[in-house]
Amino acid sequence: MNILVISDSHGEPKRIKEAIRLQIKRPDALIFLGDGLQDLDYCDTTGIAVYKVCGNCDVLYLNFMTDAPDEQIINLDGLRIMMKHGDSDGVKLTPLPLIRRAAENKVDVLLFGHTHKRLEMTILPENEFSIKLEKPLYVMNPGALGKSEQSFGTISTDSSGRVLLSHGSLLE
């Protein structure tokens, strides 16, 4: 399965279109982590399952007129994925409280946005954070598609259940 992960498009739907176009294979799913929900309305996502959460700017600009939740846990290709924008969790200071909550929810992957900075890490069951895990927890922030970095993330899984997180940029 190929999953495109984007966040913080901030009024730049053409960048979402470009991120979709750049994928070697059309994504099976698109996960949008907030701040630019209205941009999805201008993108052709035919054949792509779209999952989204609301960001702090979406609340401001959409005046609470969105069906996107603040947080969501989905199951894709055997992966339990927690999605959150992250503003209400203080991720600009540290993502650790959100990571701990993801561990409590026994998810495989935690995705968040808001910081506009790429992050990719794997937390193993034996870890320096004293987070109790039964299996690895994959954590990703795709950065900001609508800001100067113009970055996005991808998640790929194969038939053996291996998970590969990676980042890309429209500028590369």
In which domain, by residue range, is 107 found? Answer: 2-169
Say how many domains are in the chain: 1
The CA angle 141-142-143, to the nearest 5 degrees, is 95
State the CATH number of the domain containing residue 59.
3.60.21.10
> Averaged over 40-64, what is the pLDDT?
86
Distance CA(69)–CA(89), nearest Å, equals: 15
Binned at pLDDT 50, 70 and 90, residue 62 comes out as: low
User: How confident is residue 67, by pLDDT bands cut at 50, 70 and 90?
Assistant: confident
Does residue 37 contact residue 52 with C-beta atoms inside 8 Å? Answer: yes
